[in-house]
């Protein structure tokens, strides 16, 4: 009887940990978006790879076929081949790439005000999310103004199938 009780207690603890992990993952990601310019979230199939989730979102957004999309899709970019403005493709990022893309900003007044918090707490949150199993990607434009699209950071939770799109600039007036 006591072995059964211990087993049940262990299962309850594991379930509570999983729920806490998922809540903490979402909390940190939403805070990351608050430090930037907002967050959109998408629910995809749990257990799917980050690459496949980014491809699915890109195909839905662009209307391109998988083959067309894969011609320019970047895999595990370190951020050096990602442009802040007029980004024309999607892809996945390494942790180094996610840190680099999140650090990109523009010279709009609202971006300048957010720069300090974004560069300290935001980068720490990305590192913490990576330790929790987050994968990263980027979009061809989370926000735009004056005819220019600006790259967005994707935070991907393969376990839950949730993808968070972080806007790295506001949509302002020309």
Instruction: Give one word for 23, left, alpha or beta, with left for phi > 0 and alpha for psi -120 to 50.
Output: alpha
The DSSP letter of residue 107 is -
Q: Give the predicted TM-score (pTM) of the model.
A: 0.81
The confidence band for 23, taking pLDDT boundaries of 50, 70 and 90, is very high
- How far apart CA 52 and CA 16 sit, in angstroms, is 29
CA distance 137 to 39: 14
CB 104 within 8 A of CB 77: no
Share of the chain above pLDDT 70, in %: 71
Predicted local distance difference test score (pLDDT) of residue 61? 87
- Max mean pLDDT among 7-16, 66-75, 127-136, 148-157 falls in 127-136
Of the candidates 144, 141, 145, the residue with the CA atom closest to the CA atom of residue 154: 141
Q: What is the mean pLDDT of the chain?
A: 80
Euclidean distance between the first and final Cα of the chain, in Å? 71
With 0-12 / 13-18 / 19 or more C-beta atoms within 10 angstroms meaning exposed / middle / buried, residue 149 is: middle
- What's the rounded Cα separation, in Å, for the pair 97 and 61? 22
* Inter-residue contact 91 to 73 (CB < 8 Å): yes
DSSP 69: H
Torsion, Cα of 51, 56, 59, 60 (10° steps) = -150
Q: Please state the separation of Cα 151 from the chain's center in Å.
A: 11
Residue 82, pLDDT score: 80
């Amino acid at each position: 009887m006591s072995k059964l009780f211990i087993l049940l207690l262990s299962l309850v603890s594991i379930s509570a940990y999983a729920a806490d992990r998922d809540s903490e993952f979402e909390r940190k990601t939403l805070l990351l978006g608050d430090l930037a310019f907002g967050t959109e979230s998408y629910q995809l199939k749990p257990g799917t790879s980050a690459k496949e989730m980014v491809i699915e979102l890109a195909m839905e957004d662009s209307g391109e076929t998988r083959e067309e999309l894969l011609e320019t899709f970047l895999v595990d970019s370190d951020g050096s081949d990602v442009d802040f403005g007029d980004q024309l493709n999607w892809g996945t990022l390494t942790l180094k790439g996610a840190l680099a893309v999140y650090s990109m900003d523009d010279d709009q007044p609202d971006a300048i005000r957010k720069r300090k918090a974004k560069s300290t707490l935001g980068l720490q949150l990305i590192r913490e999310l990576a330790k929790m199993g987050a994968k990263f990607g980027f979009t061809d434009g989370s926000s735009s103004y004056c005819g220019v699209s600006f790259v967005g950071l994707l935070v991907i939770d393969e376990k839950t199938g949730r993808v968070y799109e972080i806007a790295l600039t506001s949509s302002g007036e020309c």
